[in-house]
């Protein structure tokens, strides 16, 4: 039985009111869902609250799941919308939105990434991305999701996701290059 089949079976039990199934599903998916949320908020306390809200919604609406997507994709979709709601509530505006006309992602960017392997640097640069770019690359690289799955989570066409990840990568490279050039600690 694949992970998704196991999770789908758990979700079916959750829909019938089985709390132990909810606990098992939580244990299976808590870390990736939390990391996804935190990558978009950079606030562990708020991310914890949203994680809680996500699984409360899983509990309430498990009966909606129709098996057309993977369970993880469905739950990431809930988390995706919860974070958007959180941004709206605090009136947050996106940070960097523009795609650079030209980006230095040649040998220097490669060097900078090699020299800044620490996840801390990457996390710092992720924070400079606008939310939809950050979410797309987080799902691609934290969770190894396909562009189709990411598109489903975000509710946009697949081509949009490819473009977002493409631009997110360019912006990350620029940020990481800048960190090394300025010797700025993350």
- Interface residue with another protein among 62, 79, 135, 171 (CB under 8 A) is 62
Binding flag, residue 156, another protein (CB under 8 A) = yes
- Residues between 110 and 129 that touch another protein (CB under 8 A): 110, 113-114, 116-123
Binding flag, residue 35, another protein (CB under 8 A) = yes
- Length of the chain equals 186
Task: Provide CB contacts within 8 A for 57, sequence distance 6+.
Answer: 78, 82
Binding flag, residue 97, another protein (CB under 8 A) = no
How many angstroms separate the Cα of 129 from the Cα of each of 6, 30, 97, 183?
35, 24, 7, 20
Spatial separation of the C-alpha atoms in residues 179 and 90, rounded to whole Å = 29
- Interface residue with another protein among 42, 64, 181, 184 (CB under 8 A) is 64
- Interface residue with another protein among 8, 10, 22, 179 (CB under 8 A) is 22
| Residue 7 C-beta: closest distance to another protein, Å | 13
Specify the stretch interacting with another protein by CB under 8 A; choose among 1-9, 22-30, 178-186. Answer: 22-30
Spatial separation of the C-alpha atoms in residues 32 and 122, rounded to whole Å = 17
Give the phi and the psi of residue 91 in degrees, each rounded to 5. Answer: 60, 30
């Amino acid at each position: 039985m694949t992970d998704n089949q196991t999770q789908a079976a758990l979700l079916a039990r959750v829909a019938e009111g089985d709390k132990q199934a909810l606990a098992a599903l939580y244990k299976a998916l808590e870390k990736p869902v939390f990391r996804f949320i935190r990558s978009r908020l950079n606030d562990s306390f708020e991310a914890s609250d949203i994680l809680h809200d996500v699984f409360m919604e899983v509990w309430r609406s498990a009966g909606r799941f129709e098996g057309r997507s993977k369970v993880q994709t469905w739950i990431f979709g809930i988390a995706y919308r919860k974070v958007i709601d959180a941004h709206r509530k605090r009136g947050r505006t996106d940070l960097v939105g523009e795609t650079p006309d030209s980006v230095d992602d040649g040998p220097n960017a490669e060097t900078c990434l090699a020299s800044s392997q620490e996840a801390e640097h990457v996390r710092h640069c992720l924070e400079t991305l606008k939310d939809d770019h950050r979410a797309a690359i987080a799902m691609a690289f934290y969770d190894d999701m396909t562009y189709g799955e990411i598109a489903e989570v975000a509710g946009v066409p697949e081509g949009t996701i490819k473009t977002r990840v493409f631009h997110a990568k360019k912006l990350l490279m620029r940020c990481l290059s800048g960190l090394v050039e300025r010797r700025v600690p993350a």
